[in-house]
Amino acid sequence: MYYIDTHAHIDMIKTLTPEAVVSKSREEGVKYIINVGIDLESSEKSLEFAQRFKGVFASAGIHPHNVRDFGKKDLKNLDSLINDYITGNYSEGRDGKKSSKLVAVGEIGFDFYRSQVPEEDMERAFSAQIELAIKYDMPVIIHNRDGDKKTLDVVRKYAGTRGFRAVVHCFSGGIDFANECLDLGLYISFTGIVTFPNARDVVEVVREIPIERIFIETDSPFLAPQAKRGKENYPGYVKYVAEKIAEIKKLSVEEVADITSKNAEEFFSLKEI
Protein backbone atom coordinates (compact mmCIF):
# COMPACT_ATOMS: atom_id res chain seq x y z
CA MET A 1 0.00 0.00 0.00
CA TYR A 2 1.18 3.49 -0.81
CA TYR A 3 -0.19 7.01 -1.24
CA ILE A 4 0.23 9.66 -3.92
CA ASP A 5 0.09 13.33 -2.92
CA THR A 6 -1.14 14.85 -6.17
CA HIS A 7 -0.69 18.47 -5.09
CA ALA A 8 2.02 19.93 -2.87
CA HIS A 9 4.25 23.00 -2.68
CA ILE A 10 7.51 21.65 -1.28
CA ASP A 11 9.23 24.96 -2.01
CA MET A 12 6.88 26.74 0.45
CA ILE A 13 7.42 24.40 3.40
CA LYS A 14 9.47 26.21 6.06
CA THR A 15 9.90 23.72 8.89
CA LEU A 16 11.52 20.99 6.78
CA THR A 17 14.16 21.01 4.07
CA PRO A 18 13.09 19.61 0.69
CA GLU A 19 15.26 16.57 1.38
CA ALA A 20 13.52 16.00 4.73
CA VAL A 21 10.08 16.46 3.16
CA VAL A 22 10.72 13.75 0.60
CA SER A 23 12.41 11.40 3.08
CA LYS A 24 9.79 11.72 5.83
CA SER A 25 6.94 11.42 3.34
CA ARG A 26 8.40 8.21 1.97
CA GLU A 27 8.57 6.84 5.53
CA GLU A 28 4.83 7.59 5.81
CA GLY A 29 4.08 5.53 2.71
CA VAL A 30 4.00 8.32 0.11
CA LYS A 31 5.44 6.94 -3.13
CA TYR A 32 4.92 9.96 -5.38
CA ILE A 33 4.51 13.71 -4.87
CA ILE A 34 3.49 16.19 -7.52
CA ASN A 35 5.02 19.58 -6.77
CA VAL A 36 2.88 22.32 -8.31
CA GLY A 37 3.96 25.66 -9.73
CA ILE A 38 2.11 28.94 -9.16
CA ASP A 39 4.32 31.21 -11.29
CA LEU A 40 7.39 30.90 -13.49
CA GLU A 41 9.83 30.94 -10.58
CA SER A 42 8.05 28.24 -8.59
CA SER A 43 7.51 26.20 -11.76
CA GLU A 44 11.25 26.24 -12.34
CA LYS A 45 11.77 25.18 -8.72
CA SER A 46 9.25 22.40 -9.18
CA LEU A 47 11.18 21.10 -12.17
CA GLU A 48 14.38 21.29 -10.16
CA PHE A 49 12.88 19.17 -7.39
CA ALA A 50 11.61 16.64 -9.94
CA GLN A 51 15.14 16.26 -11.24
CA ARG A 52 16.68 16.01 -7.76
CA PHE A 53 14.33 13.65 -6.00
CA LYS A 54 13.10 10.18 -6.76
CA GLY A 55 9.32 10.05 -6.64
CA VAL A 56 8.81 13.79 -7.12
CA PHE A 57 7.07 15.06 -10.26
CA ALA A 58 6.40 18.60 -11.44
CA SER A 59 3.59 20.78 -12.66
CA ALA A 60 4.16 24.17 -14.29
CA GLY A 61 1.63 26.97 -14.43
CA ILE A 62 0.57 30.42 -13.30
CA HIS A 63 -1.94 30.70 -10.44
CA PRO A 64 -4.88 33.12 -10.84
CA HIS A 65 -3.40 35.38 -8.17
CA ASN A 66 -0.41 35.93 -10.45
CA VAL A 67 -2.02 36.64 -13.82
CA ARG A 68 -2.67 40.36 -13.70
CA ASP A 69 -2.13 41.72 -17.23
CA PHE A 70 -1.40 38.19 -18.47
CA GLY A 71 -0.34 38.39 -22.10
CA LYS A 72 1.61 36.82 -24.94
CA LYS A 73 4.96 37.30 -23.21
CA ASP A 74 3.81 35.38 -20.13
CA LEU A 75 2.45 32.57 -22.26
CA LYS A 76 5.61 32.45 -24.36
CA ASN A 77 7.80 32.22 -21.25
CA LEU A 78 5.73 29.37 -19.83
CA ASP A 79 5.66 27.60 -23.20
CA SER A 80 9.45 27.90 -23.47
CA LEU A 81 9.93 26.56 -19.95
CA ILE A 82 7.77 23.52 -20.68
CA ASN A 83 9.24 22.89 -24.12
CA ASP A 84 12.85 23.26 -22.98
CA TYR A 85 12.31 20.85 -20.10
CA ILE A 86 10.43 18.22 -22.06
CA THR A 87 12.79 18.15 -25.02
CA GLY A 88 15.79 17.80 -22.74
CA ASN A 89 14.34 15.40 -20.19
CA TYR A 90 12.34 12.75 -21.96
CA SER A 91 13.08 9.17 -21.03
CA GLU A 92 11.97 6.12 -22.95
CA GLY A 93 10.56 3.25 -20.94
CA ARG A 94 10.47 -0.47 -21.64
CA ASP A 95 7.22 -0.06 -23.53
CA GLY A 96 8.92 2.30 -25.96
CA LYS A 97 6.84 5.25 -24.83
CA LYS A 98 8.43 8.53 -23.86
CA SER A 99 7.72 10.01 -20.45
CA SER A 100 8.73 13.08 -18.49
CA LYS A 101 8.69 14.12 -14.86
CA LEU A 102 6.79 17.24 -15.92
CA VAL A 103 3.26 15.83 -15.72
CA ALA A 104 0.75 18.70 -15.77
CA VAL A 105 0.00 22.36 -16.40
CA GLY A 106 -1.21 24.11 -13.29
CA GLU A 107 -2.36 25.28 -11.02
CA ILE A 108 -4.59 27.54 -13.09
CA GLY A 109 -8.13 28.86 -12.94
CA PHE A 110 -10.23 31.31 -10.95
CA ASP A 111 -9.95 32.73 -7.45
CA PHE A 112 -12.47 35.34 -6.38
CA TYR A 113 -11.67 35.10 -2.66
CA ARG A 114 -9.95 38.39 -1.77
CA SER A 115 -8.47 38.46 -5.24
CA GLN A 116 -7.31 41.73 -6.73
CA VAL A 117 -6.82 40.31 -10.23
CA PRO A 118 -9.46 41.32 -12.81
CA GLU A 119 -11.75 38.51 -13.92
CA GLU A 120 -10.86 39.00 -17.58
CA ASP A 121 -7.16 38.47 -16.80
CA MET A 122 -7.91 35.24 -14.96
CA GLU A 123 -10.11 33.97 -17.77
CA ARG A 124 -7.56 34.83 -20.46
CA ALA A 125 -4.75 33.12 -18.54
CA PHE A 126 -6.88 30.07 -17.76
CA SER A 127 -7.89 29.49 -21.37
CA ALA A 128 -4.40 30.12 -22.73
CA GLN A 129 -2.83 27.65 -20.31
CA ILE A 130 -5.46 25.00 -21.04
CA GLU A 131 -4.56 25.32 -24.71
CA LEU A 132 -0.90 24.99 -23.79
CA ALA A 133 -1.67 21.76 -21.91
CA ILE A 134 -3.55 20.40 -24.92
CA LYS A 135 -0.61 21.34 -27.14
CA TYR A 136 1.75 19.26 -25.00
CA ASP A 137 -0.81 16.53 -24.24
CA MET A 138 -0.69 17.13 -20.50
CA PRO A 139 -3.51 17.28 -17.96
CA VAL A 140 -4.61 20.49 -16.25
CA ILE A 141 -4.72 21.15 -12.51
CA ILE A 142 -7.59 23.55 -11.85
CA HIS A 143 -7.66 26.02 -8.96
CA ASN A 144 -11.20 27.15 -8.17
CA ARG A 145 -12.18 29.33 -5.27
CA ASP A 146 -15.61 30.96 -5.34
CA GLY A 147 -15.62 30.60 -9.12
CA ASP A 148 -17.77 27.56 -9.84
CA LYS A 149 -19.77 29.09 -12.70
CA LYS A 150 -16.79 30.71 -14.43
CA THR A 151 -14.76 27.51 -14.11
CA LEU A 152 -17.52 25.46 -15.71
CA ASP A 153 -18.06 28.05 -18.46
CA VAL A 154 -14.41 27.80 -19.51
CA VAL A 155 -14.14 24.03 -19.14
CA ARG A 156 -17.21 23.48 -21.31
CA LYS A 157 -15.34 25.12 -24.21
CA TYR A 158 -12.68 22.41 -24.05
CA ALA A 159 -14.58 19.37 -22.78
CA GLY A 160 -14.45 16.72 -25.47
CA THR A 161 -11.39 18.27 -27.11
CA ARG A 162 -8.84 15.60 -27.86
CA GLY A 163 -6.19 15.59 -25.17
CA PHE A 164 -8.10 17.73 -22.68
CA ARG A 165 -8.27 16.28 -19.20
CA ALA A 166 -8.40 18.09 -15.88
CA VAL A 167 -8.74 17.78 -12.13
CA VAL A 168 -10.33 20.27 -9.75
CA HIS A 169 -7.82 20.34 -6.91
CA CYS A 170 -8.59 21.13 -3.26
CA PHE A 171 -12.29 20.61 -3.83
CA SER A 172 -14.46 22.61 -1.43
CA GLY A 173 -17.75 22.89 -3.35
CA GLY A 174 -21.08 21.15 -3.10
CA ILE A 175 -22.59 18.10 -4.74
CA ASP A 176 -24.23 20.00 -7.63
CA PHE A 177 -20.90 21.50 -8.72
CA ALA A 178 -19.19 18.14 -8.25
CA ASN A 179 -21.71 16.39 -10.49
CA GLU A 180 -21.29 19.03 -13.19
CA CYS A 181 -17.52 18.53 -13.04
CA LEU A 182 -17.93 14.77 -13.37
CA ASP A 183 -20.32 15.20 -16.30
CA LEU A 184 -17.58 17.18 -18.07
CA GLY A 185 -15.09 14.38 -17.47
CA LEU A 186 -13.15 16.04 -14.67
CA TYR A 187 -11.55 14.38 -11.69
CA ILE A 188 -11.86 15.73 -8.15
CA SER A 189 -9.08 15.94 -5.58
CA PHE A 190 -9.56 16.27 -1.82
CA THR A 191 -7.34 17.81 0.86
CA GLY A 192 -7.38 17.92 4.65
CA ILE A 193 -10.53 20.04 4.38
CA VAL A 194 -12.50 16.78 4.30
CA THR A 195 -11.36 16.12 7.89
CA PHE A 196 -12.62 19.47 9.26
CA PRO A 197 -15.67 19.32 11.56
CA ASN A 198 -17.63 21.86 9.46
CA ALA A 199 -16.90 20.27 6.06
CA ARG A 200 -20.38 18.78 5.64
CA ASP A 201 -20.68 19.67 1.92
CA VAL A 202 -17.30 18.15 1.10
CA VAL A 203 -18.10 15.01 3.07
CA GLU A 204 -21.34 14.66 1.08
CA VAL A 205 -19.41 14.95 -2.17
CA VAL A 206 -16.94 12.26 -1.09
CA ARG A 207 -19.84 10.00 -0.11
CA GLU A 208 -21.71 10.45 -3.39
CA ILE A 209 -19.11 10.47 -6.17
CA PRO A 210 -17.30 7.36 -7.45
CA ILE A 211 -13.90 6.74 -5.91
CA GLU A 212 -12.59 6.00 -9.40
CA ARG A 213 -12.73 9.78 -10.02
CA ILE A 214 -10.97 10.82 -6.80
CA PHE A 215 -7.41 11.88 -6.02
CA ILE A 216 -5.95 12.76 -2.63
CA GLU A 217 -3.59 15.64 -1.87
CA THR A 218 -2.26 17.84 0.91
CA ASP A 219 -1.85 21.24 -0.80
CA SER A 220 0.96 21.52 1.73
CA PRO A 221 2.08 23.61 3.49
CA PHE A 222 -1.56 24.69 3.72
CA LEU A 223 -4.68 22.96 5.10
CA ALA A 224 -3.19 20.54 7.59
CA PRO A 225 -5.75 17.83 8.46
CA GLN A 226 -7.75 18.17 11.67
CA ALA A 227 -5.44 15.81 13.57
CA LYS A 228 -2.52 18.15 12.81
CA ARG A 229 -4.27 21.55 12.93
CA GLY A 230 -1.87 24.32 13.84
CA LYS A 231 1.08 22.50 12.32
CA GLU A 232 2.61 23.09 8.92
CA ASN A 233 1.26 20.56 6.45
CA TYR A 234 3.51 18.28 4.40
CA PRO A 235 2.93 15.34 2.02
CA GLY A 236 3.25 12.72 4.75
CA TYR A 237 -0.09 13.90 6.14
CA VAL A 238 -1.94 12.80 3.00
CA LYS A 239 -2.69 9.57 4.84
CA TYR A 240 -5.21 11.44 7.01
CA VAL A 241 -7.15 12.40 3.89
CA ALA A 242 -7.19 8.76 2.79
CA GLU A 243 -8.32 7.63 6.23
CA LYS A 244 -11.23 10.09 6.28
CA ILE A 245 -12.34 9.10 2.78
CA ALA A 246 -12.20 5.45 3.84
CA GLU A 247 -14.41 6.24 6.83
CA ILE A 248 -16.93 8.17 4.71
CA LYS A 249 -17.15 5.57 1.94
CA LYS A 250 -16.97 2.59 4.31
CA LEU A 251 -13.89 1.20 2.63
CA SER A 252 -10.54 0.13 4.02
CA VAL A 253 -7.66 2.61 3.96
CA GLU A 254 -5.82 0.12 1.77
CA GLU A 255 -8.62 0.23 -0.81
CA VAL A 256 -8.66 4.03 -0.85
CA ALA A 257 -4.87 4.20 -1.15
CA ASP A 258 -4.78 1.63 -3.95
CA ILE A 259 -7.64 3.09 -6.00
CA THR A 260 -6.66 6.76 -5.68
CA SER A 261 -3.04 5.89 -6.47
CA LYS A 262 -4.09 3.99 -9.58
CA ASN A 263 -6.29 6.93 -10.60
CA ALA A 264 -3.40 9.36 -10.25
CA GLU A 265 -0.85 7.14 -11.97
CA GLU A 266 -3.05 6.77 -15.03
CA PHE A 267 -4.21 10.40 -15.17
CA PHE A 268 -0.75 11.97 -14.72
CA SER A 269 1.20 9.14 -16.43
CA LEU A 270 3.32 8.68 -13.32
CA LYS A 271 6.21 6.25 -13.40
CA GLU A 272 9.79 6.29 -12.26
CA ILE A 273 12.23 7.38 -14.96
User: How confident is the model over 205-233, as pLDDT tens digits?
Assistant: 999 999 999 999 999 999 999 999 999 99
Whether residue 151 is predicted with pLDDT greater than 60 in this model: the reply is yes
Mean pLDDT of the chain: 95
Query: What is the pLDDT at residue 94?
Result: 46
Give the CATH fold of the 3-268 domain: TIM Barrel (3.20.20)
Is there a contact between 43 and 34 (Cβ–Cβ < 8 Å)? no
User: What is the model's pTM?
Assistant: 0.95
Query: What is the pLDDT at residue 115?
Result: 83
Whether residue 58 is predicted with pLDDT greater than 80 in this model: the reply is yes
Query: What is the pLDDT at residue 110?
Result: 98
Is there a contact between 240 and 224 (Cβ–Cβ < 8 Å)? no
Q: Which of 264, 270, 273, 216 is nearest to 243 (CA)?
A: 216
Query: What is the pLDDT at residue 91?
Result: 59
Band of pLDDT at residue 87, cut at 50, 70 and 90: confident
CA pair distance 29, 257, nearest whole angstrom: 10
Whether residue 90 is predicted with pLDDT greater than 80 in this model: the reply is no
